Structure 1
Amino acid sequence: MARGIPRAQPPPDAPDAPDDLPRFVLWRMRRNPLRRTTDLVQAWIALGLFLAVLAAAPAAMFLVGDTAYRHYTDLAEHQRQTRQRTAAVLVHDAPRHPEPGSREEEKTRYPVEVRFTDPTGRPRTGKTDVPPALPAGSTVDVWAATDGTITGPPLTTDQIRSRCMGWAIVSALAVAAAGAGAHGLACLLLRRRNLAAWDTAWAGTAPRWTTPT
């Protein structure tokens, strides 16, 4: 009597144990009858790019961070030499806030024209943000540049450090993105090669499936 068709078995569970994880992740490197040359190439490309990103990201962070630090340090020094904190006098009354005494009034600032002296000693006029309802003739501190414009204070040490860290993080992300893009491009090219190989194999196999015996 013919043997019955065996019952279908459920697929094996996904590897949960730590010992099975490397084999699951690096399955393309494992020897098996269905592994193609392109699978092995793709695995080595992925591993090489991963190691390259791990090595290049810290180097990029250091180089970019160091370059940014020197740039912003020189910029801060230039700002300290060309900017001066000086007293400015309001020319007009500052507008009143519609809700006096509110928390919004404490945070609101209005641009008002002021008179001040620039670092070269010349009298200037400009606009700066002041609290609401400040009367004309009041004195406020502003930072003035040598060209007579009102500007911000020179960069502080914390601001320089923050900007350098930001550029370092951006450089690391850029290296990771470049690695991911290179991997995606390699996978695309290998996939096209596989499709071409399948077309060639099918061209040789199809006649045996379609030609009557």
Structure 2
Amino acid sequence: MPGGIPHAQPPPAPVPADLPRVRFWRLRRNPLRRRTDLLQAWIGLGLLLTALAASPAAMFLAGDAAHRHYADTAARQERTRGRTTAVLVHDAPRHPEPGSPEARRTRYRVEVRFTDPAGRSRLGHTHVPPGLRAGSTVPIWTDQQGRVTAEPLTTAQIRSKCMGWALLASLTVTALTAAAHTATVRLLLRRNLTAWDEAWAGTGPRWTASR
């Protein structure tokens, strides 16, 4: 064959898997860094610091507002609700697995008879453990109109609700800062692509011109 068979060449050296990455390269001075890269780094750092500062503040404000709201609600419920004793009208259903942990947690809705704050005998419904027989007595809560209702909020329930609102506030701050960072990155990327198109419009013809 003309020119002969070329000699075999050694395979290219593999790229080390543990090649160190340059951290914070957007903040380091280098010839490839663009102004938008530096701007993106500072905006990201600013948003991170904002989230770290705003998240605890949002949790405190949301938790405090929730505590005042639910504490007022509990106080109003205690003023307008009363505890009384009701009698089952019918047997409560039996659980398929008596004595099991699930049976101890299960409650069935049954009809009960009770006396309202005005002294009248009334019928209502409440939730009771499985297997209670007709004629059994259970405690219930009623409002000023004599309707069966839930017991007033307890301290544990108020604390749980406050923690939920505080966590929600923290997640909201995190989501907002993440959305702001994503929007900023997309805006800067679009700006970089526009600048690249403008630069290529002036440079491209010299590379693609026919010789």
TM-score between the two structures when normalised by the length of structure 1: 0.84
- Distance in 2, Cα, partners of 1:71 & 1:178: 25
Q: Which residue of 2 aligns with 1:64?
A: 62
Quick check: 114-123 or 64-73, which moved more?
A: 114-123
| RMSD, matched Cα | 2.1
- Distance in 1, Cα, partners of 2:185 & 2:103: 58
Q: Which residue of 1 aligns with 2:121?
A: 123
| Alpha-carbon displacement from aligned partner over 1:174-193 (angstroms, at most 9, x marks no partner) | 10111010000000000011
Q: Which residue of 2 aligns with 1:47?
A: 45
| Alpha-carbon displacement from aligned partner over 1:3-23 (angstroms, at most 9, x marks no partner) | xxxx768467225xxxxxxx6
- Distance in 2, Cα, partners of 1:46 & 1:108: 50
Aligned length: 198
Structure 2 vs 1, CA of residues 106 and 45 (structure 1 numbering), >3 Å: closer, same or farther?
closer
Match runs of 1:32-181 below 5 Å: 32-98=30-96, 101-103=98-100, 105-181=103-179
Q: Which residue of 1 aligns with 2:202?
A: 204
Q: Show structure 1 runs of 5+ residues with no match.
A: 1-6, 16-22
Structure 1 residue 49: Cα displacement: 0.4
Structure 2 vs 1, CA of residues 97 and 60 (structure 1 numbering), >3 Å: closer, same or farther?
closer
- Distance in 2, Cα, partners of 1:126 & 1:35: 74
Q: Which residue of 2 aligns with 1:13?
A: 19
One-letter amino acid matched to 2:189: R
| Alpha-carbon displacement from aligned partner over 1:125-152 (angstroms, at most 9, x marks no partner) | 1111223332322211111122332222
TM-score between the two structures when normalised by the length of structure 2: 0.85
Structure 1 SS opposite 2:92: coil
Structure 2 SS opposite 1:113: strand
Structure 2 vs 1, CA of residues 112 and 8 (structure 1 numbering), >3 Å: closer, same or farther?
closer
Runs of 4 or more consecutive aligned structure 1 residues displaced over 6 Å after TM superposition: none
Q: Show structure 2 runs of 5+ residues with no match.
A: 1-11
Structure 1 SS opposite 2:31: coil
One-letter amino acid matched to 1:163: K
Structure 2 vs 1, CA of residues 211 and 108 (structure 1 numbering), >3 Å: closer, same or farther?
closer
- Identity percentage of aligned residues: 62
- Distance in 1, Cα, partners of 2:57 & 2:14: 51
